[in-house]
Amino acid sequence: MTAQILARLAFLCVCFLAAGCQTYSLVQPARVTVGDKLSIEPDIAWNKRSIENAEIWTVDGEALQALHLYKGLEDGDTLFVLTNSEKQEKMPQYSKTMSLLELREFIEASIVQSGFTNLKSLKFKPTKFADKDGFRFEFTFSNTNGLRELGFAAGAQSGDRLYLVLYRGAKLHYYGKYLKNVEDMIRSVQLAWASAIL
C-alpha cells in the first residue's frame, strides 16, 4: 500500500517536473490581459495554461485546437521552447528588424523546426491588429501522426515587440469549430502601450 502511494507521488512529481505540464485554469468570456500590454475579449469560455512568453488556450484539448497568445516577443525570443536542447538551438530567433516577409519565414520555420511536416503557405495579407498595421497569414501542415491541421498567425510589431496570436487545429472539425470566435476575439485585441501614448 505504502509502495503504491509512493509510486503515485513519484509519478506526479515526474509529471510536474516535465515542462509544459501545468494545470489549466478557466478563462471567462470577459476582457482579460495577457502579459503586461495585450488584452483581449473572448466570447466563450476557454481553458488556459501559461508558458514562458505566452498563454495557450484550448476548448477541447491542445491536440485538437490551440490558441497561442504571445505576450510580446522580444529580440532573441523563440516562438516555441523545445525540451530537446539541440533542436532548441536551431529554433529561429525573433528580431525587431524583421520585415513582414521575414516574420512569416520566422513563424513558418519555427513550426517546421518543432517537428511538423508538409507545411504549405496559404493566403498572406496586410491587416489591422489592435489598430496597428499588422499581418495575417494562413498555413496548413501535418502533425507527426499525419493528422492534417490548419492554422493562421495574426499580429503586429509595436515598440520593438511582436504581438502575435497563433491559432491551429485539426482540419477536420476542430479548427473550424471556434474559428469565428477566434476571429472576433482578435478584433478585440488592445495594446495598453498604444493607448497610453494616445
Compute the least distance from the CB of residue 100 to another protein, in Å.
6
| Closer Cβ to another protein, 37 or 182, answer by number | 182
Total interface residues for another protein by CB under 8 A: 68
Site string for another protein, 97-116 (x = CB under 8 A): --xxxx-xx---x--xx-x-
* Given 117, 183, 187, 188, the residue binding another protein (CB under 8 A): 117
Which parts of 55-74 interact with another protein (CB under 8 A)? Answer: 58-64
Q: In this chain, which stretch among 32-40, 67-75, 143-151, 154-162 interacts with another protein, using CB under 8 A?
A: 143-151
Alpha carbons 92 and 50: distance in angstroms, whole number: 21
Q: In this chain, which stretch among 2-10, 35-43, 157-165, 188-196 interacts with another protein, using CB under 8 A?
A: 2-10
13 touching another protein, by CB under 8 A: no
| Closer Cβ to another protein, 49 or 190, answer by number | 49
Cell 520585415, residue located? 99
Q: Which parts of the chain are beta strand (E)?
A: 25-27, 32-34, 38-40, 46-51, 54-58, 65-70, 117-129, 132-142, 148-158, 161-170, 190-191
| Closer Cβ to another protein, 132 or 177, answer by number | 177
- Tell how strand 65-70 and strand 161-170 pair up: antiparallel
> Which residues on neighbouring strands pair with residue 34, listed in sequence order?
38
Contacts of residue 150, defined as CB under 8 A and 6 or more positions apart, other chains included, come to 138, 139, 140, 168, 169, 171, 175
Quick one: the chain helix, strand, coil %, rounded to 5? 30, 40, 35
Give the footprint of another protein on this chain (CB under 8 A): 2-4, 6-8, 10-12, 14-16, 18-21, 23-26, 45-47, 58-64, 83, 86, 89-90, 92, 99-102, 104-105, 109, 112-113, 115, 117-118, 121-126, 135, 137, 142-148, 170-174, 177
